[in-house]
Structures are given as structure tokens and as C-alpha cells.
Amino acid sequence: MKETTSAQPIRDARVLGVPKMLILGLQHMFAMFGATVLVPILVNTYGLPLNIQTTLFFAGIGTLFFHICTKLKVPAFLGSSFAFLGGFSAMGAMDSGIYAAMDGAEKLQYACGGIVVAGLLYVVLAGIIKVVGVHKVMHFLPPVVTGPIIILIGLHLAPSAVSTASTGGWLAIVPWPSSWRPISGAGA
């Protein structure tokens, strides 16, 4: 079968047909699931009690709000971001000053407050980009600048991946926090 390619973007996913839509939907679900479920699990390892149900609920609310704002023109699901794990980790490790007597639930409130402030900053930056234009921003942040930054983030995370792979073998490809215990039998 010969496939024809077009330079035109696909504006309506229904033109792809049901099989391709199902495959792309499944891919999207796996991408969403990884972030939306793994992030709370990782945050819990920092001693901050963020539960998966809360994350899924607010990801759904955020997605509905996004669809209202875009008038259902952009097929997307908004999930958790790994970008905030550094902040969660730093907040979980704070054991001096006023944070010394705090438990994980209190520290989580401060970490989530920081995320709200970052979200408001995103809104301000989005407004600036809308007013100035994407092409003007791309002039200051071209792919030749943003690409190496993404590469550096990956290189910074590589030692963690190597240590996980060396201790876990084939389990290195599966996110398996130390708090999870495999089921050893039917009666377990």
C-alpha cells in the first residue's frame, strides 16, 4: 500500500481512521499515565504524602478547563510534570529552621504553593508570548539554545539511570519504587 504524505496538518483526527486513532489514543494514554501516576509515587519517596487520586482528579479538572479555553480545538490531556520534582525533593529534605518540626503533609503545602506560583508565572509568560508573538520569542530561544539545555538535563539524570540499571537489571526499565513489594504468592 502506498502512503501519500502531505505538508498540510491534520485538523480532524477522524480522517486517520479508527485503527490509527486507537493507536494514537493508546500512545497518549501511556504518556499521560506515566507522568500522572509516577510523579505522586516519586513525591512520596521524598516524604511528602501526595496521592495519585488527587493528581488524577486535578489533571482531569485542568484538562476540562483547557478544553473550555481552547474551544475543543486541541486534543490534549494535561497531566503531571516531572519539572517540579526538584522542588518537591528540596522541600522534603528541608530539616532546619521552621521546617524542622514540620511533617510531610505540612511541607507538601509549601511545595504545592510553589507550583501555584510557577503556574501563575506560566500564565504571565503565555500572555507575553501572545502579545509579542512566537516568532519574536523563537528569535531569543531558538532550538539551538533549547536543544542543548534538554540534552544537559538528560545527561544530568544519566548517572541515576545507570545506578538504577546496575542494581535492578531487567527491572531498570520499569518504574519500581523501593516501597513497592512484589507479590510472592497467591496468599500474599
Q: Per-residue pLDDT tens for 138-147?
A: 888 888 988 8
Lowest-pLDDT range, 13-22, 59-68, 155-164, 173-182? 173-182
How many Cα atoms occupy the beta-carbon half-sphere of 184 within 13 Å?
1
Residue 45 has pLDDT above 50, yes or no: yes
- Domain segments of the chain: what residues? 13-119
Cβ-contact 58, 51 below 8 angstroms: no
Position 181 confidence tier, pLDDT thresholds 50, 70, 90: very low
Residue 24: pLDDT band (50, 70, 90) is confident
Q: Taking 80 as the threshold, does the pLDDT of residue 47 lie above it? A: yes
Prediction pTM value: 0.62
Taking CA atoms, 98 is separated from 9, 52, 102, 110, 163, in Å, by 53, 28, 7, 12, 34
pLDDT-based confidence at residue 105 (cuts at 50, 70, 90): very high
Q: Is the pLDDT of residue 1 over 50?
A: no
Choice between 178 and 121, residue whose per-residue pLDDT is larger = 121
Neighbours of 158 (CB within 10 A): 10
Mean pLDDT of the chain: 80
Residue type, 81: S
d(CA 61, CA 47): 26
How do residues 6-23 score in pLDDT, each as one tens digit?
567 766 767 778 888 788
Is 182 within 8 Å of 176 (Cβ atoms)?
Answer: no
CA distance 182 to 180: 7
